[in-house]
Amino acid sequence: MDFHVMTLFPDMIMQGLSDSVIGRAVRKGTIGLHTVNIRDYSLDKHKHVDDYPYGGGAGMVMQPEPIYACYQDIVGKMDKKPRVIYMTPQGRVFSQEIAEELSKEESLIFLCGHYEGIDERVLDEIVTDHLSIGDYVLTGGELPAMVMIDTIARLVPGVLNNSESAEYDSFQDGLLEYPQYTRPEIWHDKQVPEVLLSGHHGNIEKWRRQQSLKRTFERRPELLEQEKVQEALTKKDRE
């Protein structure tokens, strides 16, 4: 899968995603990560990409031409036009479910805005998905793009190894993940739950399921109301 990022700060994206799991997947060639600097498509000699808003008001607005030229450069080499995701607090809130859907695409383009926003006409023409990472405002789309790329990329087959498997993640079944423990068996007078030392796989699984439900009920009760979770709850879970 290929990720293309249209941005004014390509180094931020590359540096932010070059270590750890995603960096390893890029080096292995399991995923491609490509940045394109919108400023390289500026129409003036000072490399401006923004201008004052029509109608007045605070801040600057990114102009349509450099963004469109940048987009054309990316899609010109492709057989099929990929989805274009615009990072904006006005978008649908990104979730594990959206990440799963997007992880099945062959390529994705992320458009990162800055200043007060982007001229609406170019958004109308190229953007397929407006996505937000939450109800707060960041200075630009780069951090949200990194959040989304990290979340989507780890769902692409071959990105995680067996021990990092996404199978038991929080949200994978709509519930929060159960607590984890490792050595030592006693730390600060706190004992690892007995059942985890028992070697009884049936009991361990049951305990983990109960812990997942308890944790979800205590920390994120609204998740239990989701249709996906309601359908997955077995008769035993309800007891």
User: 139 vs 182, which CB is nearer to ligand ADE?
Assistant: 139
Rounded to a whole number of angstroms, the minimum distance from the CB of residue 133 to ligand ADE is 4
| CA dihedral sign, ordered 178, 179, 183, 184 | negative
138 is in an annotated binding site: yes
Q: How far is C-alpha 146 from the chain's CA centre?
A: 7
**Amino acid letter at 110?**
F
Contact 63, 38 (CB under 8 A): no
Which one, 133 or 160, has the nearer CB to ligand ADE?
133
199 is in an annotated binding site: no
For residue 8, the minimal CB distance to ligand ADE (Å) is 13
Question: Please, which residue, 32 or 134, has the CB nearer to ligand ADE?
Answer: 134
SS3 169: coil
**Could you tell me if 102 and 108 are in contact, meaning their C-beta atoms sit under 8 angstroms apart?**
yes
How remote is the C-alpha of 91 from its chain's centroid? Answer: 14
With CB under 6 A as the contact rule, which of the stretches 43-51, 128-136, 180-188, 211-219 interacts with ligand ADE? 128-136
**Has 155 been labeled as part of a binding site?**
no
CB closer to ligand ADE out of 88 and 103: 88
Q: Contact letters (x/-) for ligand ADE, 133-172, by CB under 6 A? A: xx-xxx--x--x----------------------------
Catalogue the active-site residues: 89, 116, 154, 169
Can residue 64 be called a binding residue for ligand ADE (CB under 6 A)? no
Write the burial class of residue 126 (CB in 10 Å: 0-12 exposed, 13-18 middle, 19+ buried): buried
67 is in an annotated binding site: no
76 is in an annotated binding site: no
Residues 77-106 that bind ligand ADE (CB under 6 A): 87-89
Collapse the DSSP code of 136 into the 3-class scheme (helix H, G, I; strand E, B; otherwise coil) and give the result: coil
DSSP H helical ranges for 17-133: 20-28, 64-75, 96-102, 120-126
Q: Measured between alpha carbons, how far is 198 from 168 in angstroms, rounded to an integer?
A: 21
Binding site, annotated residues for S-adenosyl-L-methionine: 113, 133-138
Binding interface with ligand ADE (CB under 6 A): 87-89, 132-134, 136-138, 141, 144
